[in-house]
Chains A and B, each alone.
Chain A
Amino acid sequence: MFQGLLDFLQTTGFALITWKMVIMWGIAALLLWLAVAKGFEPRLLVPIAFGALIANLPTRGVITSELKPNGVYESATFKIEGQVIPHPGDSTTPGAHEGTTQTLKVEKVEGGLFDFISQGIKLELFPPLIFLGVGALTDFGPLIAMPRTLFLGAAAQFGLFITFMGATFLGFNSSEAASIGIIGGADGPTAIFTTNKLAPHLLGAVAVAAYSYMSLVPLIQPPIMRLLTTDKERRIRMKSLRKVSKLEKLIFACVVMAICILLVPDASALIAMLMLGNFFRECGVTERLVLASQNEIINVLTIFLGTSVGITMRADSFLAPATIKIIILGVIAFGFSTAAGVVVAKIMNILSPKNPVNPLIGSAGVSAVPMAARVSHVEGQKYDKGNYLMMHAMGPNVAGVIGTAVAAGYFISTLGK
């Protein structure tokens, strides 16, 4: 009987626990505390943290990981066993196998739960589909009413490129540096999309950094905004936005998609789904599709995306010096993006003094919609209670989403294999 118990204990997971796993449990607990108790982007950090916990338990039937010869763990792989069914008459004809299709009879598929769910990231399905929901939730009206705020969204991408250089100096190669730099865009789906294409082994660290800093926007941005603006500039009141018609919004969706895809085809998936979702929203005749995009689709995919990203946070790959560097570089990316947006707003005021822009809205060029816009509004209110910057700040805020997608397309087109 005792031997039977010993035999059973050998089948349990206790013998497989390592000290690195225990550390990861602590990190997962910290992320859960930040998400649940402190409200740090809970919709993403809860599934990410839970996925990290799952990844660091000796599970069976959940995820498959194998160590490649280059020392990188590749996870979410599954096996298919099957037989090729020959077509009648193929074997006798010379050269018949060249360019001919073959039929595979699948007999067995082996893989864990997240080996299949994670294909949504590997096959780059989840981020563009989440962008469908983002487009359905976003009102581009303030941007259309004040098109020059597009340049504030473009300026905020400066942080991406500065961080790219910093990451290169710290020893990362170009693909890894691009994946780290994209954190500065403050756009989770774009960061995951880019990292999955260029440096999938950094996915866990980049996603955690991106979503953590997105929730820290109200803490990171205000000191930079105050440092770069004068009291008089913070009190600038902007002209009211004009009313934007439905036709303008529909034209906007089509034109933006065409321009961005023509310029950076590698960003097609993100931009096309963003604008499709927005077209659904603005046309007014696809109410059910809008509701589905804004609710069911984005919520279900958020669960799968978050847990799939968390599952990549194995102790072996996450507990590395590179993770600390990514976390530090992430905050640098945010800081530079914020500063660049504010500085370009000040430059716009020099060039167009008769129609000034409150520089505080420049910081909203990072894509954390609508948190960054709210931060600009709250900062402006501290100096002038009657100054409502929220809708003005939404212009650069949503422009930043487009700008980050374009920057991601540039990185992928130049660095992708």
Chain B
Amino acid sequence: MTPLLTPGVAALMPLATVSQRMSFGELVSYQLNGLVVVFIALGAIWMVLTVTGSFFKRLSPAPVVKTALPVAVTTPIAPIAEAALDPALLAVIAVAVHVSLGSKARVQKIISLGAESDWAREGRRQIFTSHKVR
């Protein structure tokens, strides 16, 4: 397989090795070459990412625009009466409040957040935060 870099082309390019003791001009030139190489590499990656990014942005669905629907004002969820709660649950909540906030804290109201289980949400949160970046 014939390499792309023929001897004729290679002769036009500077030597791949530099001296261990460079003059000031050679030093400046060497640094600039190095910076240019780094910028070329990252610039090439930037070009590819910009092109692929615009391609994937077009592929992704448009965000749903939320419009105000004419609905009746819903009544706020009434606090659950203490009698409806399991007494054991009440005791656990009271103990947790006492341990974390001290004896001066008092539970005034307990409101249910709805049907969705918070445990699933908490489980997801723990999994996502377990992947720590170095």
| A137 to B30 Cα, complex, angstroms | 34
Report the tally of A-B residue pairs with Cβ distances under 8 A: 118
Q: Are A415 and B17 in contact (CB under 8 A)?
A: yes
- Of the listed stretches A108-116, A160-168, A220-228, A327-335, chain B binds A160-168
Inside 8 A of B40's CB, which chain A residues have their CB?
A: 263
Inside 8 A of A370's CB, which chain B residues have their CB?
A: 133-134
Closest to A251 in B: B52
| A252 to B48 Cα, complex, angstroms | 9
User: Given that A245-B56, A248-B53 are known contacts, is A415 also in contact with B18, CB under 8 Å in the complex?
Assistant: yes
Q: Are A157 and B48 in contact (CB under 8 A)?
A: no
The contact of A260 among B20, B34, B41, B52, by CB within 8 Å, is: B41
| A138 to B40 Cα, complex, angstroms | 23
User: Given that A161-B34, A403-B38, A411-B34 are known contacts, is A137 also in contact with B18, CB under 8 Å in the complex?
Assistant: no
Inside 8 A of B133's CB, which chain A residues have their CB?
A: 137-139, 369-370, 394
Closest to B35 in A: A161
| A162 to B38 Cα, complex, angstroms | 14
Please count how many residues in chain A sit with their CB below 8 Å of the partner chain's CB atoms. Answer: 52
| A184 to B20 Cα, complex, angstroms | 21
The contact of B18 among A153, A154, A158, A174, by CB within 8 Å, is: A174
Inside 8 A of A413's CB, which chain B residues have their CB?
A: 16
- Of the listed stretches A65-73, A121-129, A144-152, A202-210, chain B binds A144-152
For window 12-58 of B, CB contacts with A under 8 Å fall at: 16-22, 27-28, 30-31, 33-35, 37-46, 48-50, 52-53, 56-57
Q: What is the interface of chain B, defined by CB distance below 8 A to chain A? A: 16-22, 27-28, 30-31, 33-35, 37-46, 48-50, 52-53, 56-57, 60, 132-134
Q: What is the interface of chain A, defined by CB distance below 8 A to chain B? A: 134, 137-139, 143-145, 147-148, 150-151, 153-154, 157-158, 160-162, 164-165, 168, 173-175, 242-245, 247-248, 251-252, 255-256, 259-260, 263-264, 369-370, 394, 399, 402-403, 406-407, 410-411, 413-416
